[in-house]
Copies of this chain bind each other. A is one copy, B any other.
Amino acid sequence: MNIQSKTNGTVDMRDMAQAIRFLSMDAIVRAQDGHPGTPLGGADIATALFTRHLKFDAAAPEWPDRDRFVHSAGHGSMLLYSLLHLCGYEEMGIDEIRNFRVLGSNTAGHPEYHPSAGIETTTGPLGQGIANAVGMAVAERILNHRFGDDIVDHYTYAYTGDGCLMEGIAAEVIAIAGHLKLGKLVFLWDDNRMTDDGPTDQAVSEDQVVRFENNGWHVQSVDGHDPEAVAAAIAAAKQDDRPSMIACRTFIGYGVPRIQNDRAAHGGKITTEDTDAARENLGWTHAPFELPGDLAQAWHNAGARGASEREAWQARLDALPAADRAEFDRLMRGELPEGWEQVILDAKRRYTESDEAKPGIRASGEMLSALADVIPELISGAPDLEAATQHKRQMRPFTRDDRGGRYIHYGVREHAMGAMMNGMTVHGGIRSVGTTFLVFSDYMRHTLRVAALMRVPGVFVFSHDSIGIGKNGPTHQPVEYLASLRAIPNMWVLRPADAVEMAEAWDLAMRRSDGPVSIICSRQPLDPVRRTQEDENLSARGGYVLAEAEGGARRATLLATGSEVSVALAARDLLQAQRVPTAVVSMPSWELFEAQDAAYRREVLGDGTVRVGVEAAVRLGWDRYVGMEGGFVGMSGFGASGDVADLYRHFGITAERVAEEVTARL
């Protein structure tokens, strides 16, 4: 294809798009790394959005009512960085562009959540970005319902390639967005028909237009290299009350003769020879990283375009009744409402006084219900496991007709839930809770990683946590999941031993602001193990002595979590009866325990005593606490289908076995 370049003096969107192309190429060549195809191919689309439609103010990146822009095809990150730089984001100065992919820069290989620099979410793992965008669009409608059009009324745009649309998560969120009729959501599909492996028709036969329409979307198809056409389509999309998808036909690597419309454009290296050829081809005469004044000004104007709108918004916010204003500010700061802690304390008192053996998941559901009463920003969902988890309760659903609902019917779509939760979280103003069986956390696992990487909160409730589910069998019995979740950096894995610890887990989960929390719940009843009333959150130390040794110096230390704490307590009874002074340590969170000082950890772990870990899961990781010579009573393989008591006996997770492991080591 021969490409026409503009050479007259006026600046139009095509010129502005060229600025993106060359800035991106210069950065990629300098970094000797990066994916050129997207910034070259998508420059016209992005220009149309950023100069005509996107509501933002580069001087105030975190303006709460800004439109959100998600660069879902994260590998093409230079498209985003170029846009942010050209629009004048302070934290995206030219040095950042020059240091693309250099350690310590704001311009990582793939965009990393950094709202003050204009990066709304972390993208790169395909499909995550578009799913985050659907979550953002939900958050917007929820807050709009509470505060009205004057305060919250913005669009969410996601730029997507073919890869995002092929991932399974895409189908999940396209279905949900259409079903919920999220009219302020717009997907811009960079329809370049080329992936790293070659033409998309190697792997795709589906008609995307039909696909989106069949999911209740408004769909348009335009020439993605005609910014006016793209701008007009966005205008039409905004008018429609359905979510919109705009198929923008483009050429990957547009403008660089060697790679244009070639698979090499996706992630292949480009050199100064390529940029020279592109300069020739596109009529660009400027040196690397240089921009003529009129183009720079035009981009700067685009970045400042929203200033007056933002000021008007600020005036409306200032004019709110004081209580509303305070509430909005509280939500934007991510702070919890005053008095919420009382819910925790009340629950702890209630649970301490009760003798009821309560399933972990039921206690968790009670905490969610009680907290939801006082934390209006708490939004919940449990993909088709509402009955099994009892995590819906009094909440009415968020639907296309009722934006005041606070329970999301995700359908059987765990991956969508996780990514939408992340989207709601980074949008701001929402505390998101998602509940499913622990085995299905695999389906949404990558969303947990991204939350941890972004250092944002999120409460993930995982139930049916062991062979304790019984007859549903090994497909539904998680034996490796505690280890695999503990492996995720910055994830807190909390496995409460009883309802009191469950209340403490929710306390911790609500307080956490710099990373996600997984609350691991049993299906089976948990014997109450915490019998003394105390306001202090003992679980906050990660591990603590639940029952100290009696009748002499401690000789054995039993370390356990969740439902196995009561097994350890029973083993302690056996050992004490044998005159072996034995302590039981409950370890609801390894991560929090690791954060304690060495002296505390040594004291709790009982230096020099015989140590045995008890957990109905694989041993991986336990050696850190029991030592190479310590014992472990748990699972060494997958579970089985059968009665719960039969299974615990069959797999040898019994008090007798724990006691034997101790005595064999005395």
Contacts and interface: CB of A to CB of B under 8 A. Distances in A.
- A-B CB proximity, top 3 nearest: A168-B168, A103-B642, A203-B411
Contacts of A489: 479-480, 618, 635-638
A487 B483 contact: yes
A210 interface: yes
A620 B473 contact: no
A7 interface: no
A211 interface: yes
Contact of A196 (B168, B206, B388, B410): B388
A641 B483 contact: no
Contact of A642 (B104, B162, B439, B643): B104
A646 B196 contact: no
A554 interface: no
Contacts of A620: 483, 486-487, 620-621
Contact of A203 (B105, B179, B443): B179
A33 interface: yes
A172 interface: yes
A204 B641 contact: no
A413 B163 CA distance: 9
Contacts of A486: 620
B168 A415 contact: yes
A643 B470 CA distance: 50
Contacts of A195: 384, 411-412
Interface stretch (A106-114, A184-192, A251-259, A354-362): A106-114
Contact of A168 (B169, B439, B452): B169
B197 A206 contact: no
Interface stretch (A233-241, A313-321, A496-504, A622-630): A622-630
Contact of A109 (B175, B268, B446, B473): B473
14 contacts: A33-B470, A125-B440, A125-B475, A125-B476, A167-B172, A171-B171, A171-B172, A195-B384, A197-B387, A203-B409, A479-B489, A483-B487, A623-B628, A627-B627
A178 interface: yes
A481 B448 CA distance: 13
Given A476-B109, A489-B479, A642-B104, A416 B386 contact: no
Nearest to A415: B168
Given A475-B453, A620-B620, A650-B103, A413 B206 contact: no
Given A204-B175, A413-B168, A641 B109 contact: yes
A476 B33 CA distance: 14
Interface in A395-415: 397, 409-415
Contacts of A627: 623, 627-628
Interface of A: 31, 33-34, 74-75, 101-105, 107-110, 112, 122-126, 162-164, 166-172, 175-176, 178-179, 195-197, 200, 202-207, 210-211, 214-216, 263, 267-268, 384-388, 397, 409-416, 439-440, 442-443, 445-446, 449-450, 452-453, 470-476, 479-481, 483-484, 486-490, 618-621, 623-624, 627-628, 635-638, 640-643, 646-647, 650
A163 B624 contact: no
B490 A638 contact: yes
B412 A473 contact: no
Contact of A206 (B168, B207, B215, B388): B215
A623 B215 CA distance: 50
Given A34-B471, A101-B641, A171-B172, 13 more contacts: A33-B471, A104-B642, A105-B641, A108-B474, A108-B475, A110-B641, A125-B475, A167-B168, A195-B411, A453-B638, A489-B637, A620-B620, A627-B628
Contacts of A635: 489
A149 B617 CA distance: 48
A384 B126 CA distance: 11
Contact of A101 (B107, B473, B623, B637): B473
Contacts of A487: 480-481, 483-484, 487, 618, 620
Contacts of A443: 125, 167-168, 446
B104 A196 contact: no
Given A453-B638, A624-B628, A103 B484 contact: no
